Amino acid sequence: MSRRAAVADPQGLAREKCRRRRSTRRCWWALLLASLLLAARVSSEPLEAHAYSVKAGYLLNFTRFITWPPTSHASPSSPIRLCVVGSNPFDGRLERAVRDRSVRGHPLLIQLNPSPDGDAHCHVLFVSPSEKKNASEILQKWQRPGVLTVGDFPGFVEAGGGIELVEIDELVRFKINLQATQRAQLLISAQLLELAQSVSGIPETRP
């Protein structure tokens, strides 16, 4: 598999899991989810730019496998806001990914560099690599119910972020910090957890 093809092939990852496990139902769920997590393939793009097309697809599809607290939506048709803090690395790719799309009746809107003290509510907050040095401060300011924080630089989940997009073996994958998402009162689907490269912050179960 070429590097360009691999970076956009979560389905291959899910199929490999199924071959190793022999499990059926959960594997088919993983395959279904993987097919939904594919972003638009633009073969003429440079590799780094293409990776951001894939990451835009992940941001879109995270909204389909996460349940927000009821107070996050002003009405059944109010928008789901995908916000970007810092320099925008998507260069229009995120706008194209969400154009004319909705999730459970909620249209998707993009907002750049929102103020944490403003009125707009961000449902997904992508912290740009340009803000790596300020990540802890940004995460603290945006620590509130109903905000899924996402980043794509090393140490993001360790700093308290919800989901970190990572490139492993030439694939775009993701890590989940369950403690951070639960603190934000977000419900992550079992299928999304199944596809994660790693899940940290899992509550200990009492014997």
Distances (CA, A) of 130 to 80, 84, 89, 149, 167: 24, 11, 9, 15, 18
The pLDDT of residue 165: 96
pLDDT in tens, 64-83: 999 999 999 989 999 999 99
pLDDT tens-digit series, residues 121-148 = 899 999 999 999 999 999 999 999 999 9
Give the mean pLDDT of 39-53: 59
* Residues 11-28: tens digit of each pLDDT: 555 555 555 554 554 565
Looking at residue 111, what is its pLDDT?
A: 95
Alpha carbons 77 and 132: distance in angstroms, whole number: 34
pLDDT band at 35 (very low <50, low <70, confident <90, very high): low
Under DSSP, the state recorded for 24 is -
Query: pTM of the prediction?
Result: 0.80
Token duo for residue 74: 């002003």
For the cut 90, the answer to whether the pLDDT of residue 104 exceeds it is yes
Name the percent of the chain lying above pLDDT 90: 59
| pLDDT grade for 201, boundaries at 50, 70 and 90 | confident
Q: Residue 113 pLDDT more than 90?
A: yes
Residue 165 has which token pair?
A: 């997009």
Instruction: Annotate 116-126 with b (16+ C-beta within 10 A) or e (fewer).
Output: eeeeebbbbbb
Q: What is the mean pLDDT of residues 54-58?
A: 92
pLDDT score recorded for residue 48: 67
Mean pLDDT taken over the chain: 82
How confident is the model at residue 121, as a pLDDT? 87
The β-bridge partners of 171 are: 168
Distance between CA atoms of 74 and 16, rounded to whole angstroms?
A: 41
Provide the pLDDT confidence category of residue 47 given band limits of 50, 70 and 90.
low
Instruction: Check whether 2 has a pLDDT greater than 80.
Output: no
38 or 5, greater pLDDT: 38
Looking at residue 186, its pLDDT comes to 97
